Amino acid sequence: MKIATWNVNSLNVRLPHVLDWLASAAPDVLCLQELKLEDKKFPKEAIEAAGYQVAFMGQKTYNGVAIISKHPIEDVVYNLPNFEDEQKRLIAATINGVRIVGGYFPNGQSLDSEKYPYKLAWLTALTEWLAGEMEKHPSLALMGDFNIAPYDIDVHDPKAWEGQNLVSPPEREAFFKLIGLGLTDAYRVKYPDAEKMFSWWDYRMQGFRRNLGMRIDHILLSAPLLASLTACEIDKEPRKWERPSDHAPVWATV
DNA sequence: ATGGCATTATGCTAATGA
């Protein structure tokens, strides 16, 4: 099964990109983040016409997540049951016996922002909920825009970014608590030492052309899925398209 | 060098993203 995640930064704008990528990459499952549209504006018909089913939870202007799948989508959970939240950031479902958890993790903005403790609280709630989820579903994939670069080699200029939002020690500790549940960073299994391999590039300063990016979009696999992992890649092609998202899709085959 | 660029909305300026 080919599973993927992509922060599309507005599905209104990026629907053609998503349809093109579904046709060319043909994933079984694609988690989307940052839909930035209301449920009533979700392009359900266009995605179904492409041969996919969909579960989604939209929000005007900000956030919003979806799971697109070639196979039946079962037991959908919307947002963290243990975390009261106005923001639409998480969707989970069972597909082909695999528990898929798609998340748009809070950005945090900066360490002195009120959004930073919200990010850490969200991560704590996710970790607590996910522990129970993994007991119920041994085959589980946690994927999405984590807004955390786990290692210095995931950052184009680690010196300049040292201690800042997206790489700060409390965020990285939260990331490794998720790993501690028994999850594995699929990309790092395939490419343990690869440097300058990013999933997001700033729109400004010709960030993509100069490869000034961060690896913040991840696929984390439980042990049974890790055992069947055959490939994991970041697809940089859509980032070269006209009017791209600032994120690239990341996919794995399990 | 706290700029740069893209998206959205009680829109033409401001907030947010990462």
Q: What string of DSSP letters covers A130-143?
A: HHHHHHH-SSEEEE
Is strand B within 7 Å of residue A9 (CB)? Answer: yes
Is strand B within 7 Å of residue A34 (CB)? Answer: yes
The share of chain A scoring above pLDDT 70, in percent, equals 100
Of A52, A104, A116, A187, the active-site residue reads A104
Give the CA-to-C1' distance from A72 to B17 in angstroms: 33
The overall longest dimension of chain A from CA atoms, in Å, is: 47
Structure tokens at A164: 């800042």
Threshold 0.85, pTM exceeds: yes
Q: Residue A250, SS3?
A: strand
Q: What is the pLDDT of residues A152-173, one digit of tens each?
A: 999 999 999 999 999 999 999 9
pLDDT bin (cut points 50, 70, 90) of residue A2 is very high
Catalytic residue at A246?
A: no
Give the CA-to-C1' distance from A73 to B7 in angstroms: 30
**Rounded-to-integer distance, Cα A126 and Cα A129, Å:** 5
Q: Nearest residue to B4, CA vs C1'? A: A204
Of residues 97 to 136 in chain A, which lie within 7 A of strand B by their beta carbon? Answer: 106-107, 109-110, 115
User: What element of type H or E holds A80?
Assistant: none
Catalytic residue at A191?
A: no
Nucleotide nearest to A213 (CA to C1'): B18
pLDDT bin (cut points 50, 70, 90) of residue A126 is very high
